[in-house]
Amino acid sequence: MLKDSLIAAKAVKFGDFTLTSGKKSNYYVDMKTPVANSPALLRELSEELATRVYAKTIAGVELGAVPLLIATAVKLGIPYAIIRKEAREHGVKDPVVGSISSGETVDIIEDVVTTGGSVLRAAKLLRERGVIVNRVICVVDREEGGAALLMENGIELVPIVKVSEIFQNGPK
């Protein structure tokens, strides 16, 4: 089961953390290091994500979603786009790396969703370009309001694992 793989990979760390949302937490779900250190875990995650993708194109926010996004796109044989957190001052300056057309439906892949703010910004950026975004698929839902915020904006959150499942028999 995936939650066991995440625990075995030490994806959940305990201590004092400040999350992207600015919230303080006594635990952190780290998808970057365990995925980078374990091709087997990345394969398992991409296989799980692939079963939930409905769109013919996927997108994800840098940095945590990028390996998941690429592995899932390769598994499915579909194109992907990376959404930068902000536009660059050099090169093409576009915050979207990849080609997504107006009217196209895109599923967004995310590693961890807490409040949903980061992934909602990405969805809004795509929607401003005429892209249809109705679903966000994440590895872990921290169950801290992200699903509700996304639903208020017409986006379904599809988690592989909820943090309550990870902590079912352990600390929180």
DSSP assignment string, 113-152: ESSSHHHHHHHHHHHHTT-EEEEEEEEEE--SSHHHHHHH
Q: Kindly state the tokens that stand for 34.
A: 């365990």
Determine contact, residues 80/73, Cβ cutoff 8 Å. Answer: yes
Q: Kindly state the tokens that stand for 73.
A: 């796109």
How far CA 142 is from CA of 76, 104, 135, 161, in Å, comes to 27, 29, 17, 9
Is 158 exposed, middle or buried, given 0-12, 13-18 or 19+ CB atoms closer than 10 A? middle
* Position 28 pLDDT exceeds 60: yes
Q: Report the chain's mean pLDDT, rounded to a whole number.
A: 92
C-alpha to C-alpha distance for 78 and 7, rounded to whole angstroms: 30
Count up the domains in the chain and report the number. 1
Q: What is the pLDDT of residue 68?
A: 96
pTM for this predicted structure: 0.93
* Position 172 pLDDT exceeds 60: no
Q: Is residue 135 part of a domain?
A: yes
Q: Is residue 73 part of a domain?
A: yes
Range of the domain at 120: 2-166
Q: Is residue 34 part of a domain?
A: yes
Q: Is residue 80 part of a domain?
A: yes
> What digits encode the pLDDT tens for the residues 102-152?
999 999 999 999 999 999 999 999 999 999 999 999 999 999 999 999 999
**Residue 140: other Cβ atoms inside 10 A:** 24
C-alpha to C-alpha distance for 41 and 113, rounded to whole angstroms: 19
Beta strand pairing status for 156-162 and 132-141? parallel
> What digits encode the pLDDT tens for the residues 44-60?
999 999 999 999 999 99
Q: What is the pLDDT of residue 114?
A: 94
What percentage of the chain has pLDDT greater than the value 90? 73
C-alpha to C-alpha distance for 36 and 116, rounded to whole angstroms: 24
Q: Is residue 171 part of a domain?
A: no
* CATH number for the domain harbouring residue 20: 3.40.50.2020
Q: Is residue 172 part of a domain?
A: no
What percentage of the chain has pLDDT greater than the value 70? 94
> How far does Cα 35 stand from its chain's mean position?
13
pLDDT band at 7 (very low <50, low <70, confident <90, very high): confident
> What digits encode the pLDDT tens for the residues 85-111?
776 666 567 889 998 999 999 999 999
Q: What is the pLDDT of residue 168?
A: 82
Q: Is residue 157 part of a domain?
A: yes
